[in-house]
Amino acid sequence: MFTKILIANRGEIACRVAATARRLGIRTVAVYSEADANAQHVAACDEAVLIGGPAPRDSYLRAERILEAAQATGAQAVHPGYGFLSENEDFARDCAEAGIAFIGPPADAIAAMGSKSAAKALMEKAGVPLVPGYHGDNNDPGFLAGQAERIGYPVLIKASAGGGGKGMRRVDRPEDFVAALASCQREAKASFGDDHVLVERYVTRPRHIEIQVFADTLGHCVYLFERDCSVQRRHQKVLEEAPAPGMSDARRAEMGAAAVAAAQAVGYVGAGTVEFIAEEVNDGDLRFYFMEMNTRLQVEHPVTEAITGTDLVEWQLRVAAGQRLPKLQDELRMQGHAIEARICAENPDAGFLPATGALDVLRWPAHVAFRRNADAEPFHDPAAVRVDAGVREGDAISPYYDSMIAKLIVWGENRAQALARLDAALEATRIVGLQTNVAFLRRVVRSQAFATADLDTALIERERAVLLDQPPLALEVVAAGVVAHALADEVSLSGTDPWSRRDGWRLHGGARRHFDIEHAGEHHEVALARLHDGALRLEVGERAWAFTARPVGDDQHDITLGLRRLKLAVHVHGERVAVFSAEGSAVVHEFDAIAHAGEAAGEGGRLTAPMPGKVVAFLTQAGDTVAKGQPVAVMEAMKMEHTLTAPRDGVVAELLYAVGDQVAEGGELLRLQA
C-alpha cells in the first residue's frame, strides 16, 4: 500500500479522499490555487503545495505543476478526484511515465471511453443498445443540422468529451439548431478543451440510471448495483438514489452484466460508472440504452457505499496498489435505500443562477460518516445521515469553481424511511450568506412525483408549479423570529434586571415596540405590544396574535403565536435576519428608511451581471431595438453559460463591456433607453 499520495483536486472530494487515506495511515498532499489558500481541503491534508492562480486553467488543470508537486513531496500516487484532470488520458500517461501511480484507469481506457462518439462505436460493436443518433467526426453545422432532421426532433446535442451536463442542449425546432450548436460548442471548448459534439434523439421521459463498476489488475471486474440520477436541472444531477426504484432483479443483472462487459472491453481498472438512458415500456419494465462511461469516481458514489457497506476510495487505493478487489460479485449485497442531495449555491427561482458569497452561517444536521471497510456489513444506524463538505463556516463560494457546497446523504431501511430522513436533515440544514437550493430540495423530496418514484429527467420542469416560485415563509412567522431574537439578545445583554430591559416592560401600563422589516421585497411594520397585564401581542399590519418567546439554546427559540407552537432558529448578520422553521426559511432585512430613500426608480431598466463572470457574447448591438425578455447577452460563470434577457423594451444605447471581459456582480453590461 502507498504511504503518501497527492490529491489533485479541491473541495469536498479532496476532503473525502483525505479522510479515507488518514484511516488507512496514508499521508496526503493537497494542491491549491491562490483562491484556495485557506480552503478546508488544504487543512485536511498533511502537506500542501501552491500550484497557480485562481482560474482552473492556471492551477488545477496544470498537469505539469501537479506532477512537480508530487515529485517534490515524494508522493507515490496521485488521486485525481472527479472533474479537472480525472478523465485526462495525457495526465494519466504522464503520471505513469514519471513513475507515479495514477489512482484511476489506464490511459488507453480513458481514451476509449473519454470520447462519447468513440465509446458509442465500441458499444455498438459489442451489441449494447444505443440511442439513435449521429456519433461520427463530421461537425460541420450544416451537416449536423441535416442529421438532426434525419433523426427527428427533439434532439440532444452533447459534447463528445463532456460530462456534468456541460456542453449539452435539447433542441425542439430546426430553426433553433444552429444557435444551440454554437452555444454547446463554446461551453464544451471552455470546459473540456474540445468542441466536438454528437447528436442523438431525445428520449421522451428518460430515466438516467448508472451502474457502478470496479475492476482490478488481476482480471476481476464487478458491478456494485445501480443509482438512479433522473432528477436533474440543466442536465446536472440534483438528487441521486440507490437502488433505482422499480428496478427488477432481472433487469439489474442484465444492466450490470452489460456494464461489466463494457469495462472489460477496454481493459478497465479501478472505479468507473457506465451510464444508461432508460425508458419504461408497456409492461412497466425498463428498456435501456448506453449513454457514456465516466472513467472516474462519481459525485454520487456515497449512495452506493451506503447500501453496500463499502468504502470506494479505499477500493481505489487498494486496486491502484496492485491488490485484489476486496469483494467479488457473489460477495456483494445491497441493504436498504440511500439518497444524496447536492446542496448548491444557486437561486432555483432564477433559472438556477449560481450564487457567490460568504457562508456566514453553516450548520449541518447531526451526522456520522457511515462508510465501512470492505469486511463490514452495510450501515444501518437509526441516525444514518452523512455530510460530505469541503467548506466551513466563514468560507466563501467563489466564481472560479462549481457551485456545489456539500452533499447530504441519508440511509434508511427502505425508500420511505430514507425520504423522511432526508426531509428532516434538509430542515436542520441552515446556510446564511448566499442563496442556496436547500428549500427547493425539500420541495422536491416532499413532492408527490418524487415520493411515488414517478421519475424522469424532466421531473423538475413538469413539476414547476409545486417546486419553483413558491410563496415565501409566512410574514407572521418571520416577524415572530425577528422579534424573538431581539428579545433574547436584549435579555442576554441586560440580564433579568427589568429596569435595563427594552422589551416594553413598565412598572404601570403597557408599551409598544416597533420593527421595520423587508420581506419578499416589501416593507412591513411590525409591533410588539406589552399589555397592562404583562402579556405580549405581536402585531403585523392589521393582524395580531398573542405571543410568547423563550430561547432554548444558541439561536433557537420556542414560540407561541396565537394557538400555534413553533420552534424557530434565527441567525443575524448585520442587517440580515435569517429565520428557519419546519415550514421553510426566509432572509429579511431590518428596514432603514433613510438608507432606502435614495434608491433609483429606474433600476428596472438596467441590465446588470447577476453574478461575477465573463462576457461570452452580445446578441445585440448599439442602436438595436429590443423587447422585454429578449436574449441580449451570454455570460459564463461557474463553468456554465447563462443567457441574459432585456429587462424592458427599449433601444440599446451602449455596450459597456467587450466580449471576453470579466464582470463583477452588479456590473452594468449595456444601457437601454426608451
Summarised one tens digit per residue, pLDDT across range 200-211 is 988 888 999 999
Domain residue extents for the chain: 4-103, 132-201, 207-462, 475-595, 600-673
Q: Report pLDDT for 595.
A: 40
Topology of 4-103 in CATH? Rossmann fold (3.40.50)
Tell me what the pLDDT averaged over the chain comes to. Answer: 89
Task: Average the pLDDT over each of 52-56, 142-146, 187-191 and give the range with the smallest value.
Answer: 187-191
More confident residue, 243 or 670: 243
Question: What is the pLDDT confidence band of residue 512, given thresholds at 50, 70 and 90?
Answer: confident
Please measure the distance between the N-terminal and C-terminal CA atoms of the chain and give it in whole angstroms.
70
DSSP annotation of 187: H
Assign domain 600-673 to a CATH class: mainly beta
Is residue 591 within 8 Å of residue 518, measured between CB atoms?
A: yes
Q: HEC profile for 480-513?
A: HHHHHHHHHHHHHHHCCCCCCCCCCCCCCCCEEE
pLDDT in tens, 307-340: 999 999 999 999 999 999 999 999 999 999 999 9
- What is the layout of strands, in order, in the sheet containing 640-645? 640-645, 631-637, 613-618, 662-663
Is residue 21 within 8 Å of residue 400, measured between CB atoms?
A: no
Q: Report pLDDT for 603.
A: 43
The strand pairing partners of 227, in sequence order, are 210
Is residue 8 within 8 Å of residue 60, measured between CB atoms?
A: yes
CA 602 distance to own-chain centroid: 35
Task: Average the pLDDT over each of 206-220, 227-241, 381-395, 450-464 and give the range with the smallest value.
Answer: 381-395
Q: Which residue pairs from 60-64 have beta carbons closer than 8 angstroms and sit at least 24 positions apart in sequence?
A: 60/8, 60/9, 60/10, 60/31, 60/33, 60/84, 60/85, 61/85, 63/88, 63/90, 63/91, 63/94, 64/94
| Domain 475-595 CATH assignment equals 3.30.700.30 | yes
Neighbours of 425 (CB within 10 A): 25
Residues catalogued as catalytic: 296
Q: Report pLDDT for 499.
A: 47
pLDDT score of 600 more than 50: no
More confident residue, 370 or 272: 272
Q: Report pLDDT for 573.
A: 85
Asked if 4-103 and 132-201 have one fold, the answer is: no
Q: Report pLDDT for 490.
A: 67
More confident residue, 56 or 600: 56
Angle at 178 between CA 177 and CA 182, to 5 degrees: 115
- The mean per-residue pLDDT over the stretch 37-62 comes to 96
Assign domain 207-462 to a CATH class: alpha beta
Question: What is the pLDDT confidence band of residue 532, given thresholds at 50, 70 and 90?
Answer: confident
More confident residue, 600 or 7: 7
pTM for the model stands at 0.82
Q: What are the angstrom distances between the C-alpha of 565 and each of 79, 114, 198, 547?
A: 51, 56, 57, 10
pLDDT score of 281 more than 90: no
Q: Report pLDDT for 146.
A: 95
Of 470, 479, 472, give the one whose Cα is nearest residue 543: 479
Question: What is the pLDDT confidence band of residue 505, given thresholds at 50, 70 and 90?
Answer: low
**Which cell is 17 given?**
479522499
Residue count (the chain): 674
Question: What is the pLDDT confidence band of residue 534, given thresholds at 50, 70 and 90?
Answer: confident
pLDDT score of 462 more than 70: yes
The hierarchical CATH code for the domain 132-201 is 3.30.1490.20
More confident residue, 546 or 501: 546
d(C-alpha 566, C-alpha 476), whole Å: 12
Question: What is the pLDDT confidence band of residue 553, given thresholds at 50, 70 and 90?
Answer: confident
Q: Report pLDDT for 501.
A: 52
